[in-house]
Structures are given as structure tokens and as C-alpha cells.
Amino acid sequence: MACMNMTLIHYIDLQIRNTLRFLLGSLFDFCPTTDSVPHDSMQVIDQYLLHQLHEFNIQVTEAYKNFDYSRVSRLMLALLNRELSSFYFSIVKDRLYCDDPRGKKRRSCQTALNIGLDMVCGALAPILPHLAEEVCLHRSSSEHLSVFHSGWIDPPESWKKLGVLEAVEAACSVRNTFLKAIGGQNPVEYDVTLVIDPSLLLELLEVRFAHFHTSSMMLTLPSFY
């Protein structure tokens, strides 16, 4: 049993380190002071991440206040594995690697990643202080010599955008249905036509998520990242 527990702990630690390594590597040429994009001007999927970080902050703060460290660990792993590694990272890699290095779309992504790294390190520090300090020391843009000098992040309410959340979840539902239907084949070989509820269309348009062509009454869903 002890051996199994140590193996699990090592696996979790490796997952955390891999996620932090990706965040650090993605921010090597990013200066928060000069390169940050205003929240309302960020790509929709980046605004979605800020919304998720806002919700994470509320929950992890409450867990720390209640000394519920097991819940802190569960929240942290859910953020790192589900929201970041499995979802957000896979979506933004093309933008990070292929877009104009100084372009607004890439800087929008880096702004979200920088905020995410700040929040992850702050939440990790009380339970994994040495790891959080190690990350802080490797951040070229860090204003603080120690993660414990940076203080606790209090995200603004402007990060909370339910419309963005609903639009992204709707798009993910469509994507998942499509991927299931093609059974593992290459999705780029397909063209998809959607018949969509007008209320959802208005919601998508509201967050600049879609292009609507009135001449053909066709909704085209481009990549939202």
C-alpha cells in the first residue's frame, strides 16, 4: 500500500511539473508590463480561461480558509489536468508556435497563461512551497524574489463571463458530437454544416464567436482560438 501511495504521489508531482514547465516555456518572451492584452480584447477562449480561473480562485480560497487541504489538492489537479493540460493547452498550441510572435492573438494567449501561472503558483505555495519557489526563480518576468512576496490574487469580477462560458461549452458539445460521428478519422477532411437555434446564434454573435452570412443563411464556426 505504501509503495502504491508513493507511486501515485510521484505521478501527481510529475503531472504538476509538466504543466508548470509548459507554462514557463510558453512565457519565455512575454513581458506582462508591455505585452499584456486587456481582458475585454482577448480571444474568446482566453476569456473563457479567465472565467475558469475566477471560479477556481473562489473555491480554493474557501478551501484554504476551512483548512481543507485535500479539497485544495483536488481543485488544483482538476485545474491543471482538465482545464489546462487536456483542454486549453491543446487548443492554443498552434497560436503559440505558429502565429506572429508579437501578434495580438499570441499575446492574448500569453496574457491568459501568465495570469494562470500566477494563480497556480499562489495556490500551490502553501502546500508545495519549494516547487512554487522554484517556478518563481525561473520566471524571467517575475517582479518578486519569492512567491510569498507576491500576495494572494484577487481576480476582478470582470473575469466572470457566463455568456462566454455557455458559448464555449456549446461549441465543445458540437465538436465532441462531430468527433464521435467521424470515429477517429482526420477532422480536417470534413466540412460541417450546422442548423442552429436562433437564441444560441445570438449568443455566439454576442461574444464574437461566429461569422453570419445573411446571403446564404449559413453559420460558419471558425476556430475560436
CATH of residue 60's domain is 1.10.730.20
Does residue 147 sit in the same domain as residue 208? no
Q: Cα(69)–Cα(76) distance, rounded to whole angstroms?
A: 10
Residue 114's pLDDT band, with cuts at 50, 70 and 90, is very high
CA trace torsion 137, 140, 145, 149 (10° rounding): -100
CA angle 128, 130, 132 (to 5 degrees): 70
Residue 178 lies in a domain: no
Residue 2: inside a domain: no
Do residue 156 and residue 191 come from a single domain?
no
Residue 215 lies in a domain: yes
**Per DSSP, what are the bridge partners of residue 211?**
220
Q: Are residues 107 and 205 in the same domain?
A: no
Provide the H-helix boundaries in 66-161.
69-77, 89-98, 104-124, 129-137
pLDDT tens track for 46-104 = 999 999 999 999 999 999 999 999 999 899 999 999 899 989 998 899 999 999 999 99
Q: Count the domains in the chain.
A: 2
Kindly state the cell numbers that stand for 129: 512551497
Instruction: Give this prediction's pTM.
Output: 0.80
* CA-only gyration radius of the chain, Å: 19
Q: Which residues contact 206 (CB under 8 A, 6 or more apart)?
A: 163, 167
Residues 101 and 196 in one domain: no
| 196 and 136 inside one domain | no
Residues 144 and 210 in one domain: no
pLDDT in tens, 4-55: 456 666 667 788 899 999 999 999 999 999 999 999 899 989 999 999 999 9
Residue 212's pLDDT is 36
Same domain membership, residue 125 and residue 36: yes
* pLDDT, tens digit (0-9, with 9 covering 90-100), for 165-182: 888 888 888 888 888 888
Same domain, 196 and 116: no
Is the residue at 48 inside a domain? yes
> Is residue 47 located within the same domain as residue 115?
yes
Domain region containing 189? 184-220
Please indicate, yes or no, if residue 85 is contained in any of the structural domains.
Answer: yes
